[in-house]
Each structure stands twice: as structure tokens, then as C-alpha cells.
Chains A and B, each alone.
Chain A
Amino acid sequence: MTARPARPVDTPPPGPRLPARRGVELALLFGAVLISVLGYIDVGLARQNAVPGGAARYGTGLGVLALLAHLAVRFRAPYADPLLLPIAVLLNGLGLVLIFRLDLETPGDPAAPTQLMWSAIGVALFTAVILLLRDHRTLQRYAYVSVAAALALLIVPIFFPAINGAKIWIRVAGFSFQPGEFAKVLLIVFFAAYLAANRHALAYTGREVWHMQWPTGRVLGPIVAIWLLSVGVLVLERDLGTSLLFFGVFVVLLYVATGRTGWIAVGLLLAAVGAAAVGHLEPHVHGRVHDWLHPFDGIASGRGPSQLAQSLFAFAAGGMLGTGLGEGHSYLIGFAMKSDFILATFGEELGLAGLTALFLLYALLVARGLRAGVALRDPFGRLLAVGLASLPAIQVFVIAGGVMGLIPLTGMAMPFLAQGGSSVVTNWVIVALLLRISDSARAPRPAAAETGVIARTTPGGRTPSGSRSRSGDPSSSNGRTPPAAGREDSGGAGAAP
């Protein structure tokens, strides 16, 4: 990527006209729903030798949701990436199939209807975001509102009783949800806005220590404080998976924003120190680490196989091709089989082949998100896209690595797949935001494509419409390009509302 020559003011760039590809999206959505319906039928045939009654109900439900989401995208984000929505529907559909399948093992406690309801709420929120949020840059203005809300959401569960050792739940009127899930998105909005506004200060000011330029405390202080606060709260609540996730996304964003490899070194160092400290001091984590290193100790000492051992048994039983939907015995995992351990059912019944396909689906989702970020011009949007895409990437790695014995187990939900309302809803919002960003990135409208908004002004303040951007960072060859290289902005029609 090299810097392109600046264009004269007021001349809209021609820009390659990308096809909208809404038809492709619709076709893929049809395929995604079809695969899910075939999944229900397969489960039913395997278990009861009959097409299950749920097949039509869930298939129709999923199809209607997919269609609604598609219509919203078609009318309000016509240039959005055509792969994102079908991937989300397929993952959500597969998750429903697996939960429906596991419900057969717990007749008194069906989770699929609730999950479908939450999926509907998720799609409703998705639609709302697509319809109401016309430009992702609007979010930049609410950076501080976001962070306040996020911290509040993180702190509230402290006042609620712990469930299964973690104080991450709020239980109101029979409904329970994890506010930390929603906090993820809000915090990323804040991080993206703050870093977009302060990235040059972070990269080029401050003193040099150990051959590395450290930013001034004034710039770095607030964001590190917020990050430490959120991670601290999560550690307090014993939600180690999410704290690890926040840490990872934060380091990635810091690196992308400043272009400084040193942040990765610092991040890894901090992670190592933190992990060692927590692993030693916290008995809960200490147990997890021990279980990871010696998954079969419980068997030898007569306590029976641990959840991790049962999970490994499930994956092993799947082998290359899997036992087939409905024909595995992953219910032996027991508690958390529909949530944290849902991947074990996937691995057992669809095998290594299915698991590889699943991982590739997630990889495609992440790659498409990152790509939308790359195609964007404004740093906030780019950081937002990278942050949102990093969420599922790190989350999938942490939970899949955990249930398969690659890393110590931390309780987290497989995006879209696992039972959990807050998680599904949050993931739908993430996909909505990525779609909105990809629409901006791919839209031929010059305004949307070219308007870089600086947030040098306070986040939350109005960016003057049509004003010239000072730090459009057009070439983006690397983050060290001095801000002065910012190119003339075309300004214009569709900038900020």
C-alpha cells in the first residue's frame, strides 16, 4: 500500500463500484437455514426415527429471523458484506440444533425455546442497529457514555449472588443475563474512539525508556485505568475468560492504533505475570490449571472424570467423521454441556471434519470483519471493526482451546453456538455493527467511503459535518505516518447526520 496522490478538493473519487451482492446473501441465507433444518431432521431420525416436530417450528423461526435481518440489510445497508449475515444465521442455527439435540437428554429442562427467543431478540436488536445507526461514526460521540455504561454493567453483578462460582449474572424475574457480554461491545466502542483520537499522541510523544518510546501518562492513563478497572472487576467476579478477552482485544487495538510492536511485548509480559499470579493465588484458577495439565487425575483418585476429561472423551469419540447428530454421548459432560462445553457435542457428533468447518466459519467471520476495517478510511471505524472482529477470534480460541485441552479452561460461550441469551444478543449486535461498517467500506457513495472523522475533539462532541479531516490517514501504509500527511477530504453530502 502506498500513499496515493491527493486529489483536488470537491472532486469525488470515482471509487470502484462494488456490486451489492444482496442476492448472494439471500441465497446463502437460504442455504444456512436449510442446513439447520436438515440438522433437526437428522437429530430426529437418529433419535426417534421420525422427523421431529421442532424441525418445522425452529426452521420457520430461523427462516423468518434470517429474512427479517436480510430485509433490514437490503434496505438500509445495501452494500454490506454478503457473507457476514449468512455466517451468523448458520452459526446461530447450528447452535439451536445442538441445544435442541441436547434438550433430548434433559427432558425436564429444555433450553432451545429460550435460545430461539433470545435469537429473536438478537435479530430484533440487529435490525434496530441496522435501521437506526446510519453511520458507525455516530458511536464515536457516545464513547464516554459507552464506557460509563460498560463499567456499570460490569459492576452490577457484584451485588447479585454467585452462580457456579462466578458472579457474572443478574437474575431478574426469572431471566438471567450476563451484563459483561454487553459491556464487551461498549468497551470496544470506547477503546476504538479513544485510541482513534489519541493514537498519535500514544505513538509519538513521551519519553524513551529501554529503546522504547512510552506515551505520557496523561494520554495513556485514562485508558489503562479503565481497562484495569474492567479486568479487575472481572477477576473479582471470577469471570476469567472475559477478562482474558478484554486483555487480548485491548492489546490488539493498542497495537493496531499505534503500530508499535512494543505493545505486544508489554502485553505478553503483563499477561504472563498476571496469569502466573492469578494461577498461583486464586484456588479456582489453580484448580483449572491443574486440571489442564492433568485432566485424568480425578479418575485416578476415584473422583471420576472431570468435565474436561469428559469433554476430551467426547471429542475423541467423534474421530474424523463424528458419530452423527444425535448419536453421541456428550451429555456425560453434564452441567454446562449446552453452554461452555457445547463444542464437545459438535466435535463428537460432527467429528474433526465438522469442527474444521466450524472453525473456518468463525475464521471467515473474523476475516470479513477485519477486511471491512481495512477497507475503511476513518481510524475509529477501522479500530471498531478490528476490535469487534477480534472478539469472536479470541473468544473462539480461548473457549475451544479450553475445552480441548490446549490451554487452561475458562468459562466462556462459543459465539452464537452456545446456550446463553446475553451472548447471542451481543453477537447479533456485533454482526450488525460489522455489517454497518462493511456497508460504509463498500458503498460507492463518496461521503461514506471517504469521510474520515477525527476525534481530536472530545468524543461525544459533534463532528462538524463536511469539515475537513485532519487525520484521515489515507494511505495507512503504517501507523507512523505523521498526521500532517492527512489528505484533503472530499467532505460532502452524506457525512455525519
Chain B
Amino acid sequence: MIRCVRHTAAFFLVLLVALLLNAARVQVLQAGAYDDNPANRRSALARYGRPRGDILVGGNPVTGSRDSGGRLRYERTYRQGPLYAPVTGYASQLYGTSLVEHAEDGILSGTDSRLAPFPLWAELTHGRQPGGRVATTIDPAAQRAAFDGLGGKKGAVAAVEPASGRILALVSTPSYDPGALSGTGSQTTAAWRRLNRDSGRPMVDRALRQTYPPGSVFKVVTAAAALDGGQVTDIDAPTDTPDPYVLPGSSTRLTNEDEAGDCAHATLRYAFRVSCNTVFAHLGVEVGLPGMVRAAERFGFNDDGLKIPVRVARSVFDTEMDRARLALSSIGQYDTAATPLQMAVVAAAVADDGEVRPPYLVDRVLDSRGRTVATASVEPPRQAVRRTTARRLQELMTDVVTSGTGTAAALDGATVGGKTGTAQHGERGEGTPYAWFISWARAQDAARPAVAVAVVVEDAAADRADISGGGSAAPIAREVMRAALR
């Protein structure tokens, strides 16, 4: 009998071992797979179980947390939500995260291993650190100036500091309050539905995620290609361009806007100042497709991987097309498309003697106690165009502001260069054109430019004739530059 009791005990021991092995399987070996199962709500619960770290602009938080007392407890609040929405994005219990809230989610929610006191700490304890803070490069004054400048109009502004690549302003209008998407109630779902149905598409970040045909502001790139490639050696020598210009291999006659003046055989300086389509279309064809593609890509076009750390939409310059389309592409039409940020980078490269610095939005990452965990890793600049070319382009751009189409951008006490643009869009260009302005400004006593700006206004309500980069967009750029220079 005792032998049998011992056997029974041994049998129970086997059951115990089976339980322990199975527990180890579930809790250790397969834990990762179970944790990552999309039906497992724990990650969302842990995420909202504690206040989210703040996003800082100019050292001050533009976000906050509200204790809702519910399951997904801490809701995100935003100070001046619409103003900073194109920077922060939203952090919603129901709809996830976007923009900086998305790109720096690990830091803000406290899961990033850089926040842990020791390596492997988070892995061992399954714990979360208090959310860290993300300091952006945004200049509140420039942001405010851009937002107020756009006012009720639909459009976007991107501003960067040429010497560093720091993004000083990112504005997209019409905007929205991301705070409306915090929480779990019916108000939140209603806000989501309303914002998605809104014809103004307020949740689209036009500065980063929307591409526009750049129109005449792309002529900066074409001029750079022609100067760098040697197609133009003297900006004051007449170019061999008829007006109208018949696109090569077709019977399409390209003309100029009425106010452009006498563009036939115009010099590059003149053509740039009054924005002759014919001259630049012809120049693009002369440079040739490989040269144009190379020039565009050096400025950052066709780059899929740009992250600031928010992913930026790809700006496009086609790599395969016939010469007629190349001609159109060289004046920023046909398939050429650029984000406002990309065009601000173009202006910045010109202003900073041809050096392109990758733009970045996150300056520093701090833990909850304010200690710096990481700083932005600034990549070395790339030479987009030769220094001499850049100097000539600066000259061309300052001419535009002093005596050309961009006089509305002039600032006292600063050297300002700019380029206007009016971009056709739609199947045959029948839509209301977009007004562009890109510019940069250098304080008179400064060695380097302080700011480069791209403004796009897509104001469907305005009379078509009134839309021009010089009229609608340049004053906005001027106010952003004025704020950034201060």
C-alpha cells in the first residue's frame, strides 16, 4: 500500500512538473507572441494607464494629460491644438497616433529602452518607465506667424534654419484640434467622423504629407542644374529661347504669363525675375534628363526615406520621360511634385551656399525628470550645387525680391531672396492654381542666413487672376522670416 501511495505521489509530481513546464512555456517562451496579439488590449491599457510624456515647443509643453478615470485612463490634451497639430499629430485611444506622437511614441509612452535605468531592465520587469519628453525644433513665433498669415486660407508653410536643418515652422490650414480625438466616448468618434468628412481635409498635414506641383518655384532647381552643368555660364547673357517655345517632339506651344514681359532670348537673370516659362523649359531640355534628375535628387527629390523623424511624403521628379515632358517638368509642371518642406529645403540649400542639411523636427529627447536621453543626430551636409552656383542663385533670388515678382517679401534690415510660383494643377490646369513662394532671409550683420521658408496657398475661393506667389504667399513668408529673424 505504501508503495502505491509513493507511486501516486510520483504521479502527482509528474503533474506538477507538467504544470510548471507549461507555465514557463506560456509566460516566457510564448509570452512575446501573446503580448503582440492584436486582440490583446494590454498594450493600449498600459499605454494610457499613465500620463503620456509631453511634446515641447520652445521649452514649453504644447500637450498635457487629463485623468479621465476610465480604463484608458489618461487622455491627451493640447494647448493651441490647431496651431501645433501639423507638428504633434494626435494620440487617440481609439485612432492611434500620428506625426510626432507616432514617431516618438516609444519615448512619450515610456516603452523606449533608452528611458530604462539599466539595460534589459524593461525586458525583465515588463515595466514601463514614466513617459519621456520630446523637445521640438519649432520656433513658436515663426509657427504663430505662419498660422496667422495663412489665416482662413487653405495652405501650408514650412520653415527651416539653413545652417542646421532645424525645422522652425510647420503649419497646415485648415487645421483641427487633436484633443478632440482623445478619449473613448461618442464625442471622440463623432469628431473623427466629422474631421474625415470635412472637405477641407483638416487632418492632412500639408506641410509634410501633401505634394503639390511646385510650378515656378522649381525654376530654382532648373537654374541650379543649368549653372552647375555649364549650360549657362553668364547669367546676364541672352539665352537662345524663342517665345513661344514649341515643346520638342510635339506641336505644343508653351507661352508665358501675361505679366512676364519679354521672354524671347531673355537672360537667366531676367527670366528668373519675371519667371519666364519658355526659358526654363528650354533650359531643362538643354540640361537633359540625367542632369535634371541628378540636380533634383541632390536637393532631396525622389527620396522615399526622409524622416524628421516623422515620415515625409516623397517629392517627385520623374526619371523617365520624353523631352516635351522634361520641358514641362523643368518648370515644375507635369508630374513634378514637392512637399512644402522639400521646397523650403531647396531655398535653404541655396541660402547656405549649396549645402543641403537634412531637416529635423526633434531636437532632444528627455526622460520624465528632464535629463537628456538623446539629442538629434545631425547628419553631415551634402553639397547640392557648387558654391559659386549657389552664390549666383542667391543673386537671382534677391533680384526677385528687390525688383521682381516677390517684392512683397522684402524686409528691412535683412537680405531676402525669394521665388514666386503659380502652379497649374488638374487634368488640364483648369483648377484654381496654387500660389507658391519660397524664400530665405539673412540679417544684414549676420554671416549666415537665419531662415528659409516655403509657402503654398491653395485658395479655391479666390479669383484665379489674384492668385500668384507674389500676391498671396510672399507676405506670409515675410512674416515668418520676420519672426524667425527676431
Contact = CB atoms under 8 A, between A and B. Distances in A.
Interface in A304-319: 304-305, 309, 312-313, 315-319
Given A255-B4, A352-B23, A401-B19, A332 B9 contact: no
Contacts of B6: 374
Contacts of A256: 1, 4-5, 8
A367 interface: yes
A444 B472 CA distance: 105
Contacts of A304: 39
A443 B20 CA distance: 35
Given A305-B37, A320-B27, A374-B2, 16 more contacts: A255-B7, A296-B37, A296-B39, A305-B40, A315-B27, A318-B126, A319-B27, A332-B41, A351-B27, A367-B9, A370-B9, A382-B1, A390-B8, A390-B12, A397-B15, A401-B18
Given A252-B8, A305-B40, A319 B31 contact: yes
A312 B22 contact: no
Nearest to A473: B1
A70 B5 CA distance: 28
Sorting the interface of chain A by its residue count into under 10, 10 to 19, 20 to 34 or 35 or more gives: 35 or more
B3 interface: yes
19 contacts: A1-B3, A252-B11, A256-B4, A296-B39, A305-B37, A305-B39, A316-B26, A316-B33, A321-B126, A352-B28, A355-B23, A363-B13, A393-B12, A394-B15, A397-B15, A397-B16, A404-B22, A406-B22, A478-B3
A438 to B, nearest CB: 14
A420 interface: no
Contacts of A366: 9, 12
Contact of B125 (A315, A321, A476): A321
B35 interface: yes
Nearest to B4: A256
Contact of B8 (A322, A356, A386): A386
Contact of B41 (A252, A318, A329, A359): A329
Given A315-B26, A363-B12, A323 B1 contact: no
A379 B28 CA distance: 44
A363 B16 contact: yes
Q: Is the interface of B mostly helix, strand, loop or mixed?
A: helix
A481 B6 CA distance: 17
Q: Which of A255, A315, A386 has the most CB of B within 10 A?
A: A315
Nearest to B29: A316
Interface residues of B, number: 41
Contacts of B39: 296, 299, 304-305, 309, 313
Contact of B26 (A363, A393, A404, A476): A404
Interface of B: 1-9, 11-13, 15-16, 18-20, 22-24, 26-28, 30-35, 37-42, 45-46, 124-127
Contacts of B22: 401, 404-406
A86 interface: no
Contacts of A401: 18-19, 22
Contacts of B41: 329, 332
Nearest to B27: A352
The 4 tightest CB contacts between A and B, nearest first, are: A316-B34, A316-B31, A299-B39, A256-B4
Contacts of A320: 27-28, 124
A61 interface: no
A492 interface: no
Contacts of B38: 299
A429 to B, nearest CB: 21
A338 to B, nearest CB: 18
Interface string A345-362: 001000110011001000
B1 A359 contact: no
B19 A316 contact: no
Contacts of B18: 397, 401, 406
Interface string A383-406: 000100010011011001100111
Given A370-B8, A479-B1, A359 B20 contact: yes
